[in-house]
Structure 1
């Protein structure tokens, strides 16, 4: 309910204040002051209408792109507690953070000679190599940049990520260095009692059963470079023969499905790990799902095949309205799905 409150107040007050002989009150103050019970009832009805509108929008775009049956399959697994959220950078955009490629480019203010090389690496999907090249040039200043731009002191949270605590009360997986999820869950009164970061994820495999409400930071966190997995060298150090991303994901998943949100899902280590898991269980693979912007029609067959190799099945939404569409899908899950 609190997720909707500010939007309700904005709409309630949009016609302006009530003014009497130089005094003024917002419409919220008038309604809440004169009829507190009426104010609560109006708010409840407004939220119900907002949820219904979200479900209608989701049903429409899922029907249009053929994703409705897949969303219903996801809903059934969600009802059974068999869905594990995997949160990428796209879920932090509304809170003011940049996509990872854009962020790396923003670090080149003092390194203009690197711009063309970094742009080329990013176009080729070589994000680890791009990060390492910048780190080598900035040296100690690199950690300061990560902390200053993404650290826990950055407390602004906005957008549909705020619905996460309502839907997912156990493990949450993220590749993000920022603290949006930390702040969102704390603000909702459901703070993570423990967060496992980077190389410490190996500990999570033996400890998580006793305390499943936790945040699993696959790549580490911005406040500390200890255990961080960002550059090519850091990846190779963290995921070696003893501890691999495949092994970590395999243990965490069990029979549960991942739900990717805010993830680009290009050719990266997560995709490769899931492909390996898929190849080791060819007869009974666990299906995973992803909320993704719908690609152009000509690109859909190739995109679908690429994701299917990792047993990821897309639930497409309109590409021109990321936040609204993700919100509509999460509200639809929260409200029991789109059956019938």
Structure 2
């Protein structure tokens, strides 16, 4: 076709060029790297005094698009390697490659069920369990933080909650409803959950961060169970592989679903006075099913004295099920002895810890950024975006 005739098809040409220009503009960071080189120059034939300047990225894109795309692929690959350099070095230097690669395999094959604790909602403005209980205690007349501190020191949060609930049940319910309401920006490692979870998510949190996140991504969770809530066929949804969420402690806005105090726990799990957990109850039955059919990945959990771990121990001790490997990303303990003690206890529950360092940040608080980096690396390796080795 005579090139001048293209002017007669200006509308079509403009549309094509608009689409191509939009694709070019979407790679601004890469284009800027190419354009660090001197622009190409040539003189006008019509006006020899005039000189044209063409950016390298423009020339490569419009003249040799295959070469442009090859360079883009290489640059993106190198960016991935650079992005994950610190996490890769940490995993290797801490001699945790085996656990990390097994976690990667579980992510790759879609077996992961994230188990989300308060640590992942902290970045979104919600309190940790200890903070929440102490805040409640400060609000009550005739009761103070000192009244629950001995229980807090033993990580006996259920009994501490029971003490507060016995003193002022309505105040506790009001606090949960207001403190864990929707806060706004969702940020931090919790934003990686859609890349980790293809089926079930378990959380001890009252807030709606996870549900809101999936809704934002246009991939709402299909099924749910809040605490002792019944009648929603959660286990059937779970077995069908639907995206669903189990909120072990209930939902902030529904007080009748709360499993927050010792008495509420005993009612939900049927465990009281030394009697074993009643797996005919919906909540422990659902949790057991997830434990034996998925690879849990504990995130934002301390995994200290915990009633959920008691349930897992009863399943392991029963010896009736083939239990898959579970994983936990955990803050490195202060001493080797503490790490060995905790690791031994978790391994007995088929939970393989992957420890990460938490140096002190500029604000004097522990810096958990390595948790985010290790998770991103695991996802990238699972999706074959980078090679770990």
Where on the TM-score scale, by shorter chain, does this alignment land: which range?
0.7 to 0.9
The total of aligned residue pairs comes to: 305
Relative to structure 2, which stretch is displaced further, 296-305 or 212-221? 296-305
CA distance in 2, matches of 1:91, 1:121: 24
Structure 2, unmatched stretches of 5+, are 1-20, 31-71, 271-277, 360-365
The partner residue of 2:345 within 289, 306, 311 is 306
CA distance in 2, matches of 1:312, 1:169: 20
The 5 A counterparts of 1:154-173 are 154-173=183-202
Partner of 1:32: none
CA distance in 1, matches of 2:339, 2:159: 29
- Aligned-partner SS, 2:235: helix
CA distance in 1, matches of 2:241, 2:320: 31
- Aligned-partner SS, 2:228: helix
- Aligned-partner SS, 2:137: coil
Show CA shifts across 1:236-256 (max 9, x none): 111113317553222224442
CA distance in 1, matches of 2:388, 2:247: 34
2:136 is equivalent to residue 98 of structure 1: no
How far the C-alpha of 1:36 sits from its partner, in A, is 5.2
Show CA shifts across 1:237-276 (max 9, x none): 1111331755322222444211100011012111111112
- Of structures 1 and 2, the larger Rg is shown by 2
2:317 is equivalent to residue 279 of structure 1: yes
Distance 1:246-1:210 versus aligned 2 partners, 3 A rule: closer
Higher RCO (C-alpha under 8 Å, 6+ residues apart): 1
CA distance in 1, matches of 2:76, 2:259: 41
Relative to structure 2, which stretch is displaced further, 37-46 or 127-136? 37-46
Question: What is the TM-score with the length of structure 1 in the denominator?
Answer: 0.82
Distance 1:40-1:100 versus aligned 2 partners, 3 A rule: same
Distance 1:256-1:139 versus aligned 2 partners, 3 A rule: closer
The partner residue of 1:68 within 74, 88, 97 is 97
The partner residue of 2:106 within 77, 84, 92 is 77
Structure 1, unmatched stretches of 5+, are 1-34
- Aligned partners of 2:91 and 2:97 also within 8 Å: yes
Distance 1:74-1:116 versus aligned 2 partners, 3 A rule: same
How far the C-alpha of 1:195 sits from its partner, in A, is 2.0
Show CA shifts across 1:273-292 (max 9, x none): 11122223389542211000
- Aligned-partner SS, 2:328: strand
- Aligned partners of 1:227 and 1:238 also within 8 Å: no
